[in-house]
Structure 1
C-alpha cells in the first residue's frame, strides 16, 4: 500500500480521467418505465402479449376523457367541440386512429337490410335530433362505459398510436395530445389524459424532477451532517468527492451500455451518496482520531505514516464491509424483475467504486493536500468527544440491564412476526404516483366514470380456418363477457366480435311493422327522433354500407331471397330444395304501437320482464332492456349469437355459421382488433377493461377467465390471457420469489464472509443476527402500517442487509482487537463503542438522513423506501451496538478471543 500511495498524483489523474469519461456518457441515458421492461424477454406473459399485439395491434394507447360543466355531451355546442378535438388529434403524425362520439360507427337496421354509418352523421340542430343520437347510443351496449358517463356530462376519446414507435416518439405523441387538449380546455370543459403511454411519460417526467431536486437536497443534508460530525471542511469535501465520483461511474456505465433508467434505478445516485459515504467516514474518523493523539503537532513524514496506519488498520474491515454490501446489492441480480436486477448490479458496481476511491483517492489527497500547505510542519486538530460521552452514557445505562434488553428484543421479534401476515403484495404503476398528481387524478376520474384504463387481452384460438365464426364458440364468448361483468365489479367492460354479431343479428331481425312505421315517419318528414337513416332530397346516402347490393335493374334483394347468380354462396343455410319449407320461419313481432294496455296488462308486462332478470337489484336501464325483450321491441330478443336451430329455422349448426359469415361479409367497418380475418377468422380477441389497477384484482380476473373457458368452452379452442394487466400481475408474483431469493443469498454470503474472516462458523451466525432482527422490524412495520410490498419496497431487505452488515463487521473487528488486549468485557465493550461505535452511529445517522430525503419523492415506493431504510439503519445500528455485544459478553465465543 505504501508503494501505491507514493504514486498519489497518478492515482488522482487516472480517477479524474475515468470520471470525465463517464460524466460525458450521462446525457445518453434513456428513461423507460413500460411494464414490459420489468419482465425477462422469455417470460410467458411478455411473449404472449407480443404475439397478441402482432395479430390484433396494440390496445394500450392514450385515453382522453372530456367533461362538460354545462349541458350534456349531446348538445350541439359540446358535440362540436368533441368533433374539433377529434380532428386535431387525428392530425398528429404519431396517431394511427382516434375514436370518439362523433366518428364511431353505428349499426342500424332498415327495410333494405343493415346500415353502417356514423353514430353522429350530422351535429344535432334540434332537440329531436339530439334525442335520436342519444337513443342510438343507448341502443347498443358496446358504447356503454366507453363513450358516455352515467350523467351524460363526460365522454372518452380513445387514441391509438402508430405501431413500432420509439420511446422518444411516444413521448412526443403524448405531449402533442396534451397540447391539443389544453387548447380546447376553455371555460366549462375539463380533460383528463391517462392510459399506459400517458403513465409511462408522466413517470419519466416525475423521475427527472426527483433527480433534479432530490440529489441536491441529499447532498446538502449529507454536507451538513458531515460537518456536524467532523467540524472541518476538508473531510466533508473528500467524502462528497468520493460519493459523487462513484455515482458518476455507476450511472455513466449504465448510459454507456445502453441500460435504460427506470423508477427503481433512480435510487442509485441517492443510495450511493448516502451509503458510499460510509467508507470515507470510517477512514477519516479513525485518521483524525489518530491525529488527535499528537495534540495537533505533526510533520509531513508523520502525517504520511498516519495515513498509511489508518489504511492498514481499516483496510480489511472496510474491504469486508464493502464486499458484503456489494454482495448484498448484487444478490438482487438474481431477481427476475429486470429493473431490480439492474439496480442490484449497478449499485454493487457503485459500492465497489466508492470503496476503491475511499482506499486510494482519499489517502492520496490527504497526502497531497498536506504537502501543498504553506506551513506543513504542523496540523492542528482538536478531538471531538461529544459523541464519545453520549456513547459512554448509553453503555453505562444498558450494561446492567441484560435481562431487560433480552425481553425487549423478544417482544419486538414476536410483534414483528405477527405483522408479517398483514403484508400486501401489489404493484400497480398508477398507484406509485401520489393522489394529488395530475396523472393519478386523471386515471381515478376515468376509472370512476368509464370502463377503466387497465387493459387485459383474451385471445381465443381455434384449430381450423373459420372456427371463430361458429356459434359453438361465439355464444360461450358472449356468455363469458356477461359472467365476468356480473361477477366482478372491477370489470368495467368486455368487448369482442360477439358484440358485433349480436348487434347485426338484432338489426337484421327488426319486426316489419317497426321498420314500416319508421319509414312512414321518415317519408312524411315527421321529426320525432325515430328515423334510422338520413335522407337529403329523398336520396339515400350511398356512402353507407347496405346489407344488399342493387342488381342491374335497380331491384333490391330480399332477406331470404336467393338469385341465380348467388346460388349456394349467398345462401345462409345452404338448404336442399326439399328442405326449403322446413327453413321458413316467422320473425317474432314487436309491440303494436296502437294497442292500449290496461293497468292489469301493464303490471303483467312488468312482472314478466322482472321474471327474466337473474337478480332483483337491477338498474333502470336493465329493466328497460328486459321490457324490450318481453315485447321484442326493435328485435331485442335477437340481440344474441344465433345458436337456436329451431328459432332460426336451420337444420344444422353449419347453417348458422354461414349466417354469421354473411354478417361478417356485409359489415363494412374494420374488425382487425377483434378477429384475425374478416371472413374466416381462427383467432379472436376479447378486450377486458378493468377500473381497478390492482395487480391482485388482475390475477383474480385472469384466473376466473381461464377457469370459465376451461369449463364452458368447447374442445378444440385454446384461451390465452395477456396484456399489460397480466404482465403487471406477473411482475407482482415475481416479487415474492425474488425477495426470498435475494434475502437468502445475502444472508448466506454474509455468513460465509464473516465466518471466513474469523475462521469460525459461529462468527457467521453472530454476523447475521443483528441483520435478521432489523429485517423483522422492517417487515413488521410494513404489515402494521399498510405499506405494500412492491417493486420499490422489495429492495429494502437487500439494501438493509448490504448496509447494515457494515455495522456488524466493523463492530466485530474492533471488539476482536480490543479483546486481544483485555479480559475486562466491560472495558472491551466500552473501548469498542467509543472508537468504532462512534463511526457506526454517525454513519447510520448520515445514511438515514440521506434516505429520508426520499420522503419528498413524487413516488410512493421511493417514499416508503426512504422511510423503511431510515428505520432499518436505526434498528440495525442499535442491534449491532446492543444485542451483538450482549451476545458476545454472555456467550464469550472462542472466535472472538483467538488471533486471526
Structure 2
C-alpha cells in the first residue's frame, strides 16, 4: 500500500505505457468465420478427415435454390444458366453444378457418349417437359439439382479448402450475393443453405453483437455506478478502468493471435463487468467518515487499499483459476477463452490497483469520498437478510439443500447439442431458407464413408461395387438420411445408357471387363469426387436433414453396426466427415465440463484452505458456490437448454466469479471473530458492512451478463441469461446460506 502511494506517478506511467503498447495490437484481432475452428486438434478422426479431403477435395458446399416458373420451365432454366455461368467466373468457387452444366450419358445399344444434360434450352413445351421428366427420374440429379416434384431448381456451389484465409467465405458469399441481386426481380426469393452460408452468417452476427453489446454494456455499467455512488467523477474513473482493461485484453488477443469467434467474443462484455468488481469494492470503502478519520488523502487511500487489496487479489486469483480450468478442454476456442479471460483478470487487478489509486490521488478527495447513496432498497434488503438469517438459519439450510437435490436430479435431463441451426433465432432468414431447401431437396448436413483397398483397380470389381451399393441401400433406409451418392451410381447410369436407356439395366454389371470399358468411354471428371485415379479408394457421400446430435449419433451407430456385420475383409471402411467432427466436439464438451468443474473446485478449495488455514472454513466457502452452479444445471435440465460450446463455459466462469464475494465475506468474518464478539453479532455486522459491495458487484455482473441476452446468437444469449441468474443466486447464497451455515456450525 505504501509502495503504491509513494510511487503513484511511476505506477501511473508504467500502467499507461503497458496499456498503450497493448492497444497497438488491437487492429491485429481477427474475426474467424469458420466453425472448423472448433474441431479438436490431434483427434484421430479429424486427422483422417483431412487426409480424406486431400484425396476427394474439400466437401464443403452450399445450395442456391429457387422456385421454378409454374407456367413454363424455359425462363427458369435460362435464369439457372445465367446464374451458373456467372458463378463459374468467381475464382473463390471451386466448382459450380446445375442442370445447365452437368454431364449426362446418352446411350444406344452397346455404346454411350457423354455430353451436357442441356446443350440448348428449348422453347418447345414438350421438349421442356421431357427435360424435366428426365431430370426427376435420374437419381444423380433428383433432390440435388431439381426437387422430386420439379418445382424447385438448385445450384450446388463447392468451396475451396482455405483454412488460413479468414475472410475467404465472406468474399465468396459477398460475390455470390452480388450476382443474385441482378436476378432478384425474376424470382420471389433465392434460398441459400449450407456450411459456407452458416459460417458467414455466424461471423456477421458476431460483428453485430460486438457493435451493439459493448456500447450498451458501457451505458448500463455507467448508470449502475451513478446509482450507487451519485458521483460523476467516480463514474468517469470506473469507465476509464474498464476501457484500459478492455483495450488491453483485445491487444493481448492480437499479440497471441487469438481470433474473435462465437466463444471468445463473450470475453469482452465479461471482462467489462469483472473489471468493475474490484473498482466497486474500492469505491465502497472511500467514505466521508474515513476522510474525517484520516484527513490526509495519502493516508486515507492507504487505509482503503490495506482493507481490500488482499481480498481483491485472492478473488482475482480464484476467478482466473476458474477460467484456467477450461484448459482441460480439447476444443480450441474454449481453450482460447480460458487464456484470454484469465489474462483479463490479471490485467483487471493491475489497472484497479496500479492505475486507479494514482488517478484518485491526483483528484480532490472531498469530491470523491462521500456517504454514497446505496438506495433504500439495498439497505432494506440487507436489514431483512440479516434478520432472516438470525431467526431462520435452519430453515434456510433445509430449503437450500432441497433445491440442491432437486437441481441435481433435473440436471440429468441436460443434453449436449451442436445443432448449428438452433444457434440462430427461429424467425431468422437462415433458418427459413434451410427449411425450404431441405423440404424440397436433400439435407445440407453431410458425412462420408471411406472405402479403401490395397488392390489397384479394386473398385472396378463388381463385388466391390456391390459392397458400396449394399452400404448405400442400408444408409438410405435410415430415418434422417435424404440422399446418398457414390461411384456405383455413375456405373449404374453408364450401364443403363449402354443398354439403350432401358430402366431395368440401371444396375451394376457383372463383368469387370465391361466396367473397365465403361470407364474408357466415360469422358467426364464427375467421378473424381467419388473414386481416386487408382480405383482403390472410393467414397459414399451421404446428405442428411437431421441436425440434432443424439439422432445423428444414432445414424452413425446403426451404420457402424451394419458395416461391422458385413464381409469387407480386404476393404477398410471408415465413417468420416464434418458431422462426425461435430459429434466428437459434443463428447469432448461433456467430458471437459466435469473435468473443469472438479479441477476448478479442487484448486480453489486448496487456495481457500491456504487463505483461512482451516479445513472447515475452506469447505464452508465451497458450499455457497456449488449451490448456484447446481441451480443453473437444474434450470438447464428443466427448460431444455442444451450443453454446447457457449453454455459449457458457465460452470467454470460461475465458480471463479461467485467465490469472490464469499472470500470478501469470510475474510471480514474471520477478522471480526478475532475480537471475540458473539457470532450472531459478527454475522449481522458482516452482512451490513460487506453487503453493499457484494450486492453492487453482483448487480453489475448480472447486468454485464444480462446484456449478452440481446445477442443474435442463441448460445451467447443463453450464456448471458444463465450467468446472470447464477450471479443472483450467488449473492443470495452469500447473504443467506453462507451466514446460516456459519451460525449453524
How does the TM-score come out when normalised to structure 2? 0.96
Among candidates 462, 477, 484, match of residue 471 of structure 1:
462
How far off is 1:112 after superposition?
Answer: 5.8
**8 Å CA contact retained: 2:65, 2:153:** yes
Deviations 1:101-122 (A, max 9, x none): 2111222321461132222222
**Separation in structure 2 between the aligned mates of residue 378 and residue 658 of structure 1, nearest angstrom:** 96
Deviates more, 1:776-785 or 1:127-136: 127-136
**Separation in structure 2 between the aligned mates of residue 377 and residue 311 of structure 1, nearest angstrom:** 18
How far off is 1:438 after superposition?
Answer: 2.4
1:87 alignment partner, SS class: helix
Q: Is 1:747 equivalent to 2:736 in the alignment?
A: no
Equivalences for residues 324-335 of structure 1 within 5 A: 324-335=318-329
Deviations 1:330-358 (A, max 9, x none): 11112111101100111000011101111
**Separation in structure 1 between the aligned mates of residue 79 and residue 191 of structure 2, nearest angstrom:** 15
Equivalences for residues 314-393 of structure 1 within 5 A: 314-370=308-364, 381-384=370-373, 386=376, 387-393=378-384
Q: Is 1:668 equivalent to 2:523 in the alignment?
A: yes
How far off is 1:378 after superposition?
Answer: 8.1
Q: Which residue of 1 aligns with 2:557?
A: 703
Among candidates 645, 657, 667, match of residue 791 of structure 1:
645
Q: Which residue of 1 aligns with 2:401?
A: 410
Residue-pair matches, total: 741
Deviations 1:856-875 (A, max 9, x none): 10101010001000110011
**Separation in structure 2 between the aligned mates of residue 180 and residue 814 of structure 1, nearest angstrom:** 67
For structure 1, the residue ranges without an aligned partner over 5 or more in a row are 371-375, 511-633, 644-655, 892-900
How far off is 1:282 after superposition?
Answer: 1.0
Among candidates 297, 303, 309, match of residue 303 of structure 2:
309
Deviations 1:588-644 (A, max 9, x none): xxxxxxxxxxxxxxxxxxxxxxxxxxxxxxxxxxxxxxxxxxxxxx5333222234x
**Separation in structure 1 between the aligned mates of residue 617 and residue 512 of structure 2, nearest angstrom:** 75
Q: Which residue of 2 aligns with 1:86?
A: 84
**Separation in structure 1 between the aligned mates of residue 94 and residue 541 of structure 2, nearest angstrom:** 19
**Separation in structure 1 between the aligned mates of residue 348 and residue 149 of structure 2, nearest angstrom:** 60
**Separation in structure 2 between the aligned mates of residue 163 and residue 809 of structure 1, nearest angstrom:** 50
Equivalences for residues 254-293 of structure 1 within 5 A: 254-288=253-287, 291-293=288-290
Change (3 A) 1:112 1:636: closer
**Separation in structure 2 between the aligned mates of residue 390 and residue 399 of structure 1, nearest angstrom:** 14
Deviations 1:811-832 (A, max 9, x none): 1111111222243222111110
**8 Å CA contact retained: 2:94, 2:158:** yes
**Separation in structure 2 between the aligned mates of residue 340 and residue 292 of structure 1, nearest angstrom:** 46
Deviations 1:302-353 (A, max 9, x none): 2211211111111211111100000000111121111011001110000111
Deviates more, 1:14-23 or 1:736-745: 14-23
Q: Is 1:196 equivalent to 2:186 in the alignment?
A: no
**Separation in structure 2 between the aligned mates of residue 396 and residue 25 of structure 1, nearest angstrom:** 52
Equivalences for residues 171-250 of structure 1 within 5 A: 171-250=170-249
Equivalences for residues 691-770 of structure 1 within 5 A: 691-770=545-624
**8 Å CA contact retained: 1:36, 1:46:** no
Change (3 A) 1:317 1:806: same
**Separation in structure 2 between the aligned mates of residue 26 and residue 690 of structure 1, nearest angstrom:** 41
How far off is 1:509 after superposition?
Answer: 2.7
**8 Å CA contact retained: 2:394, 2:740:** no
1:735 alignment partner, SS class: helix
How far off is 1:367 after superposition?
Answer: 0.8
**Separation in structure 2 between the aligned mates of residue 882 and residue 220 of structure 1, nearest angstrom:** 31
Q: Is 1:509 equivalent to 2:499 in the alignment?
A: yes
How far off is 1:474 after superposition?
Answer: 1.2
Q: Is 1:637 equivalent to 2:504 in the alignment?
A: yes
How far off is 1:136 after superposition?
Answer: 1.4
Change (3 A) 1:839 1:807: same
Deviations 1:521-555 (A, max 9, x none): xxxxxxxxxxxxxxxxxxxxxxxxxxxxxxxxxxx
Q: Which residue of 2 aligns with 1:96?
A: 94
Q: Which residue of 2 aligns with 1:155?
A: 153
2:362 alignment partner, SS class: helix
Change (3 A) 1:416 1:59: same
2:454 alignment partner, SS class: coil
Equivalences for residues 255-654 of structure 1 within 5 A: 255-288=254-287, 291-294=288-291, 299=295, 302-370=296-364, 381-384=370-373, 386=376, 387-488=378-479, 490-510=480-500, 634-643=501-510
How far off is 1:704 after superposition?
Answer: 2.4
Change (3 A) 1:455 1:380: closer
How far off is 1:294 after superposition?
Answer: 4.6
Change (3 A) 1:765 1:378: closer
Q: Which residue of 1 aligns with 2:43?
A: 43
Deviations 1:57-115 (A, max 9, x none): 012123211224x417x611111111111111111121222101211122232146113
**8 Å CA contact retained: 1:246, 1:350:** yes
Deviates more, 1:756-765 or 1:342-351: 756-765
**Separation in structure 2 between the aligned mates of residue 472 and residue 112 of structure 1, nearest angstrom:** 22
Change (3 A) 1:96 1:379: closer
2:370 alignment partner, SS class: coil
For structure 2, the residue ranges without an aligned partner over 5 or more in a row are none
**Separation in structure 2 between the aligned mates of residue 282 and residue 687 of structure 1, nearest angstrom:** 59
Deviations 1:701-758 (A, max 9, x none): 2222222222224211111222221111111111001111111111001110110111
**8 Å CA contact retained: 1:210, 1:858:** yes
**Separation in structure 2 between the aligned mates of residue 718 and residue 121 of structure 1, nearest angstrom:** 40
**Separation in structure 1 between the aligned mates of residue 610 and residue 232 of structure 2, nearest angstrom:** 38
2:143 alignment partner, SS class: coil
How far off is 1:129 after superposition?
Answer: 0.2
**Separation in structure 1 between the aligned mates of residue 584 and residue 522 of structure 2, nearest angstrom:** 38
Q: Which residue of 1 aligns with 2:12?
A: 12
**8 Å CA contact retained: 1:298, 1:377:** no
Q: Which residue of 1 aligns with 2:125?
A: 127
Q: Which residue of 2 aligns with 1:877?
A: 731
**8 Å CA contact retained: 1:326, 1:349:** yes
2:192 alignment partner, SS class: strand
**Separation in structure 2 between the aligned mates of residue 377 and residue 52 of structure 1, nearest angstrom:** 71
How far off is 1:805 after superposition?
Answer: 0.6
Equivalences for residues 799-814 of structure 1 within 5 A: 799-814=653-668
Q: Which residue of 2 aligns with 1:832?
A: 686
2:144 alignment partner, SS class: coil
**Separation in structure 1 between the aligned mates of residue 156 and residue 622 of structure 2, nearest angstrom:** 54
Change (3 A) 1:729 1:377: closer
**Separation in structure 2 between the aligned mates of residue 691 and residue 398 of structure 1, nearest angstrom:** 55
**Separation in structure 1 between the aligned mates of residue 260 and residue 215 of structure 2, nearest angstrom:** 19
2:449 alignment partner, SS class: strand
Q: Which residue of 2 aligns with 1:34?
A: 34
**8 Å CA contact retained: 2:404, 2:630:** yes
2:637 alignment partner, SS class: helix
**8 Å CA contact retained: 2:29, 2:257:** yes
How far off is 1:142 after superposition?
Answer: 1.9
**Separation in structure 2 between the aligned mates of residue 443 and residue 338 of structure 1, nearest angstrom:** 28
How far off is 1:466 after superposition?
Answer: 1.0
Higher helix share: 2
